[in-house]
A and B are shown apart, each in its own frame.
Chain A
Amino acid sequence: MSWLKNREIAVIGCADTKLELKSGKTALELAGEVTRDLLRSTGVARAEIDGMASTLANAEAHNAFWTNMMADALGLELAWCQASEIGGGSVIGNLVRAGAAIQAGLCEMVLCIAADAPSTKFVTRQSGYREEFCDPLGYGALPISFGLLTSAYAAKYGSPDPGMARLAVAQRAGAVRNDKACEKLRVPITEADYLASRMISDPLRLLDCVMRCDGANACLVTSTARARAMGFDTLVHPVAYREMVNFDPRQDIDDITVTGFSRVGPQALRDAGMTAGDIQSFHPYDDFYIALILQLEQIGFCGPGEASAFLAAHDIGPRGDLPINTGGGQISAGQPGLAGGGVNLIEALRQLRGEAGPRQVARTDTAMVTGIGVIQYARNWGCSNVLILERGA
């Protein structure tokens, strides 16, 4: 994908709504809100948008015509329109799919949008293995899968609690500095608070878990040439992207803690001509903290079993040497359902654009954003994807 490395695609603006618990709004209303903000902040005329890439929505999952209805609600006439359904990987996946569509000449200006309101309305239903081989045997909720993963990690490497406690404290501090985060979560915590929080699926605690909320996020993607011609000078370029759906389908790897990130993390870094040390801020998809421990180790920030030691040795706050999920991430800002990956992406874009206010990081040349989607049967997760961003010169 030389068009990525050559910085031929640019993000010219981004927006997100306040994250709210039980907002009472529909996903379409939130989509309208974020589109209005994006049009206002970029000054792009709606008629110039000829492509749209959306996520699905838990609140609209009964609607097989979701993206058409969204285009109708937003008043967009589109030459290219798609919804991605790789779960929490969809938001960063859409940014690169938009780039590919522009490169292929299908469209010129793409609205990448994600809106969901699962804390107001949740109509998604699982099927297949989940309905037949998990739920009837006592599988009540996603934290169980991550409790199981944590137990396997702990047996192999020792408890990840020290590293997860550091992440929990740092991300909460980020949410306190982020006025878009859910108000309920904008309260500082200590490592002792984290360790004392009640067990949900032991060894996984309440403060390991993401909280569903309502919200939307969006960005505008076009060719770098077009962005410059339009007069945009603050550009963020996707420079490397790798995606893996259903890693190791034959289950030849006899270790449930080895995820698709062990493949796509090193690949994306190699594509960008970087090592993990070149990443100036890291915005990993965070539904549960054990997923961050595994990403740090498998993308290559540290070796297997070393995440807690790595987190003890590095400052992950906005003034630190490796800022992580500086706006609170999803765990401390809230997870707007299938729009959740945008919490991590928009924060990375804000940081590179220098618009992160009280949590602005010092080094804004590069950032990495990841996605995780779909829980598998007796393994880990179904989609792992990695996006590397660079600020335009």
Chain B
Amino acid sequence: MTKPKPAIKPTQLTAPFWDAVRDRRFLLQYDPAADRYQFYPRPLSLYSDPGETEWREASGAGTLVACSLCHVPAPGFEAEVPYLLGLVALAEGPRVFAQIEAAQAPAIGTPMRLTWHGEGERTVFKFAPA
């Protein structure tokens, strides 16, 4: 039986990220003082004091750093198993966790690109080999 997928409940901090996802844009926090990006969104920059950040859109390009074929579904993903999950290091620096779209696990180091699925509240980002 398939359960509902967990609803994403944005916080005040993360609402701009999820608002952008609905427009199929992937935002990173950028620290202009340190010229570095970070993800997931945090209340402070990791890279300079006192830690101001602004939002910037990611290019969507990256490299696969880890990949696993998952047989233990999260709630709502029962019908999709097995599915690939991975960590992608974006060209801007931060690593992102997401599903990987591929017939089998791509080699670690494979260039990847962001892909978009669904509409509105159900918009989801994944990565596929570039």
Enumerate chain A interface residues (CB-CB to B < 8 A).
Answer: 129, 131-141, 143-144, 147-152, 155-156, 198-204, 249-251, 254, 256, 377-379
B97 touches A137 (CB 8 A): yes
List 7 A–B pairs whose Cβ atoms lie within 8 Å, in order of A's numbering: A132-B10, A136-B6, A137-B99, A144-B85, A152-B87, A152-B108, A251-B95
A-B contact count (CB 8 A): 113
Closest to B34 in A: A250
User: Measured between C-beta atoms, what is the minimum distance from A360 to chain B in Å?
Assistant: 38
Docked-complex contact B10 and A136, CB < 8 angstroms = no
Which residue of the partner chain, among B6, B71, B77, B94, contacts A202 with CB atoms under 8 Å? B71
- A-facing mask of B86-102, CB < 8 A → 1, else 0? 11010000111111000
Return chain A residues, CB-CB under 8 Å to B108: 151-152, 155-156
- Residues from chain A with Cβ under 8 Å of B10 in the complex: 132
Name the residue of chain B whose CB is nearest to the CB of A202. Answer: B69
CA distance A201 to B73 in the complex (A): 10
Residue contact B69 to A152, C-beta cutoff 8 Å? no
Q: How far apart are B10's CB and chain A's nearest CB, in angstroms?
A: 7
Residues in chain B near residue A156, CB distance under 8 A: 108
Q: Are the CB atoms of B105 and A129 closer together than 8 Å?
A: no
CB distance from A209 to the nearest CB of B (A): 10
Q: Is B103 an interface residue (CB 8 A)?
A: no
Known: A136-B8, A256-B95, A378-B95. 8 other contacts (CB 8 A): A134-B97, A135-B6, A143-B72, A148-B67, A148-B86, A201-B68, A201-B69, A254-B89
Cβ contacts under 8 Å, A152 to chain B: 65-66, 87, 108
B75 within 8 A of A: yes
Assembly CA distance A136 to B89 (angstroms): 20
Q: Quick check: is B1 within 8 A (CB to CB) of the other chain?
A: no
Assess whether B120 is interfacial by the CB under 8 Å rule: no
Chain B residues with CB under 8 Å of A131's CB are 6, 9
Residues of A within 8 A of B87 (CB): 148, 152, 256, 378
Decide yes or no whether B47 CB sits under 8 A from chain A.
yes
A143 to B71, CA, bound (A): 10
B20 CB-CB contact with A under 8 Å: no
Q: A131-B6, A256-B95 are in contact. Are A149 and B66 (CB under 8 A)?
A: yes
Interface residue from B7, B80, B82 paired with A136 (Cβ < 8 Å): B7
Contacts of A377 in B (CB 8 A): 40, 97
Bound CA span A134–B67, Å? 14
Asked if residues B46 and A249 are in contact (CB atoms below 8 Å), the reply is: yes
The chain A residue sitting closest to B5, CB to CB, is A136
Q: By the criterion CB–CB under 8 Å, are A133 and B73 in contact?
A: no
Query: Is B130 interfacial (CB 8 A cutoff)?
Result: no
The smallest C-beta distance from A290 to any residue of chain B, in angstroms, reads 11
Across the interface, do A139 and B85 meet the contact criterion of CB distance under 8 Å? yes
B70 touching A201, Cβ below 8 Å: yes
Q: Which of B7, B94, B97 contacts A139 (CB 8 A)?
A: B97
Q: For the complex, what is the distance from the CA of A144 to the CA of B83, rounded to whole Å?
A: 11
